[in-house]
């Protein structure tokens, strides 16, 4: 979850502490323990990385499928490193980069997978203490070098492994920012405004600096591991994607950054009958093409409609991750159905029969369990962005961007954003924009849904809806240009209203926000007695969450690629 430290690193708050220290006339060979500032005078001799196996001297650079991306520092996920004087960069036991030019920055594009990750940097100095400046840029937030890093000048064991216990190591010493240390600026190759500080060790020579980066869900979906430690497989074709996701065994499946069109070709398209339905209230002359359930009839003559979406079945114990700035799936529905233990991350799903209504979701969950959907973007989807039904439980939906803009829909707004029925779910740091209701709709008495740190923007109907006894805990969510921020309703099966607790929980009602609704009447901010989650969470204030979500939700996070139909 995002932290105050992240907000500072993003430049919302700039923190700089100029500490007293030794004068600039001190040579690099002189080092006084406890001194605040560095002397980055170039060493007299070229740095040579240590050959000692304790410091990775026997490690070899090998290509890694996660180490891809044609972008530079600050333009996508990866690791930016500068050192005084030479360095070796390890991630999860793999040597990814080395450098032997003092202060010269290096950037490694890198996609970290869900689970525990270890960033370890061997730093050596020709004379005096080693020093490290680094930023690990991850989808959720950056990790700039600070005192959360740990350091050892005498490491032992498998210190580059994600499972290594570094609790006995010392906290790294804050030596100040590049601006605090004249002559220690690594130059244009290091991302600016990151909040990173130079880190020092307590002794001269060589040291290992280490940071743990866990990537895991919180809330109802906590404990979801997907494919776990299975060897990642990069798939190249739609057929390979389908085969890898439906396999019985645990799997970690990777998609390259960029667009993949998975629609069925003309030979595999299906034809169905749609009901031409004029948009209501004369707001537009548009007529939509609605697919009706079997128990409904069309009052006018139906028209032929073509469906070409591809339903991609997903088995249990699967992780699907888009690399770099996000993988884009055009024309595909990811169908979890009743599978268990599934993770989707860094994906954009769009173009699912956008000219029809009720002809395919982005993600379908029908009874699934232990599901984590993170940093996904949805747009131009015929039915729900994410629909969960039939007892789906233990879901976490985080950092989703639900973009409802669709020229085929009435008023250009998606009408069926999200419905959760008989579902337990946590939804946080998620954006709904330009929709017509269901942001989200939670229905049925067994449903328990916790929403915090979300944003609903430009919604012409209700945003958060509870129906038929469903319970919603709603906090620190920002609403702007929303007709009805919350609504409590019955349903076809029951007149029992849903329950929402929102009053006093830091929700923000901005400009052009209408009244809350209780069935057909206006009402106060709801304050019903609902469930209390048993897990721990720490929400941000809604006005801060509004900034974080707008900038960071969706595939690619703050580096998102534009969605362009093929």
From the number of C-beta atoms within 10 Å of its C-beta (0-12, 13-18, 19+), residue 414 rates as buried
Structural domain span for residue 44: 1-215
What's the total number of domains in the chain?
Answer: 2
Confirm whether 74 is domain-assigned: yes
**Confidence label for 30 from pLDDT (cuts 50, 70 and 90):** very low
Those residues with Cβ within 8 angstroms of residue 463's Cβ, 6 or more apart along the chain or in another chain: 432, 437, 439, 456, 479, 482, 484, 485, 486, 487
**250 and 184 in a common domain:** no
**162 and 285 in a common domain:** no
**505 and 440 in a common domain:** yes
Please determine, for residue 8, whether its predicted confidence score (pLDDT) is greater than 70.
Answer: no
Give the CA radius of gyration of the chain: 26
Contact 399, 429 (CB under 8 A): yes
Write the pLDDT tens digit of every residue in 208-246. Answer: 999 999 999 999 999 999 999 999 999 999 999 999 999
**188 and 248 in a common domain:** no
**397 and 306 in a common domain:** yes
Supply the CATH number for residue 407's domain.
Answer: 2.160.20.10
Token code pair at residue 15: 């923190």
Confirm whether 489 is domain-assigned: yes
Confirm whether 425 is domain-assigned: yes
**322 and 394 in a common domain:** yes
From the number of C-beta atoms within 10 Å of its C-beta (0-12, 13-18, 19+), residue 306 rates as middle
* Measured distance CA(490)–CA(497) in Å, rounded: 5
Contact 334, 314 (CB under 8 A): yes
Confirm whether 298 is domain-assigned: yes
The mean predicted confidence, pLDDT, of the chain is: 92
Read off the pTM: 0.93
Residue 48 sits at the vertex; the CA angle it makes with 35 and 212, to the nearest 5 degrees, is 60
Write the pLDDT tens digit of every residue in 253-287. Answer: 999 999 999 999 999 999 999 999 999 876 568 99
**252 and 185 in a common domain:** no
**394 and 256 in a common domain:** yes
Confirm whether 249 is domain-assigned: yes
**189 and 76 in a common domain:** yes
**438 and 381 in a common domain:** yes
Write the pLDDT tens digit of every residue in 177-206. Answer: 999 999 999 999 999 889 999 999 988 899
Element (H, E) at 5: helix 4-9
Contact 79, 113 (CB under 8 A): no
Confirm whether 270 is domain-assigned: no
Confirm whether 167 is domain-assigned: yes
């Amino acid at each position: 979850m995002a932290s105050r430290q992240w907000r500072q690193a993003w430049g919302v708050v700039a923190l700089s502490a100029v500490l007293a220290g030794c004068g600039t006339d001190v040579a690099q060979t002189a080092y006084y323990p406890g001194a605040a500032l560095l002397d980055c005078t170039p060493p007299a001799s070229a740095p040579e990385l240590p050959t000692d196996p304790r410091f990775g001297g026997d490690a070899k650079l090998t290509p890694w499928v996660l180490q891809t991306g044609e972008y530079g520092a600050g333009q996508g996920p990866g690791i930016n490193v500068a050192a005084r004087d030479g360095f070796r960069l390890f991630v999860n036991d793999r040597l990814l980069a080395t450098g032997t030019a003092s202060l010269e920055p290096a950037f490694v594009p890198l996609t970290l997978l869900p689970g525990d990750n270890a960033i370890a940097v061997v730093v050596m100095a020709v004379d005096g203490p080693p020093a490290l400046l680094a930023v690990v840029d991850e989808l959720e937030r950056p990790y700039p070098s600070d005192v959360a890093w740990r350091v050892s000048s005498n490491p032992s064991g498998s210190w580059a492994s994600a499972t290594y216990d570094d609790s006995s190591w010392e906290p790294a010493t804050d030596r100040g920012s590049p601006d605090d240390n004249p002559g220690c600026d690594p130059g244009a190759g290091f991302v600016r405004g990151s909040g990173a500080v130079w880190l020092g060790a307590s002794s001269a020579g060589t040291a290992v600096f280490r940071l743990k980066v866990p990537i895991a869900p919180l809330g109802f979906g906590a404990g979801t591991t997907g494919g776990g430690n299975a060897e990642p497989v990069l798939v190249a074709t739609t057929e390979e994607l389908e085969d890898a996701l439906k396999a019985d065994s645990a799997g970690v499946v990777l998609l390259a950054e960029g667009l993949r069109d998975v629609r069925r070709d003309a030979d595999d398209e299906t034809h169905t009958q749609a009901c031409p339905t004029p948009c209501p209230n004369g707001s537009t002359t548009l007529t939509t093409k609605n697919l009706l359930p079997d128990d409904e009839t069309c009052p006018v003559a139906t028209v032929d409609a073509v469906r070409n979406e591809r339903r991609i079945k997903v088995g249990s114990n699967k992780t699907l991750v888009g690399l770099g700035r996000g993988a884009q799936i055009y024309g595909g529905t990811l169908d979890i159905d009743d599978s268990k233990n599934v993770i989707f991350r860094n994906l954009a799903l769009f173009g699912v029969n956008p000219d029809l209504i009720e002809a395919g979701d982005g993600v379908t969950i029908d009874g699934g369990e232990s599901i984590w959907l993170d940093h996904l973007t949805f747009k131009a989807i015929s039915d729900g962005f994410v629909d969960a039904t039939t007892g789906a439980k233990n879901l976490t939906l985080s950092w989703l961007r639900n973009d409802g803009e669709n020229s085929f829909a009435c008023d250009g707004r998606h009408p069926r954003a999200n419905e959760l029925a008989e579902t337990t779910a946590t939804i946080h740091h998620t954006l709904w924009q330009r929709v017509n209701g269901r942001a989200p709709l939670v229905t049925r008495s067994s449903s328990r849904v916790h929403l915090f740190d979300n944003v609903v923007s430009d919604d012409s109907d209700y945003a958060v809806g509870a129906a038929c006894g469903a319970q919603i805990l709603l906090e620190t969510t920002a609403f702007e240009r929303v007709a009805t921020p919350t609504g409590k309703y019955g349903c076809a099966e029951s007149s029992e209203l849903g329950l929402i607790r929102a009053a006093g929980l830091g929700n923000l009602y901005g400009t052009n926000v209408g009244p809350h609704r209780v069935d057909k009447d206006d009402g106060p901010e709801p304050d019903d007695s609902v469930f209390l989650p048993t897990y721990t969470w720490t929400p941000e204030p809604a006005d801060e969450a509004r900034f974080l979500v707008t900038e960071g939700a969706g595939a690619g996070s703050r580096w998102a690629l534009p969605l362009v139909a093929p």
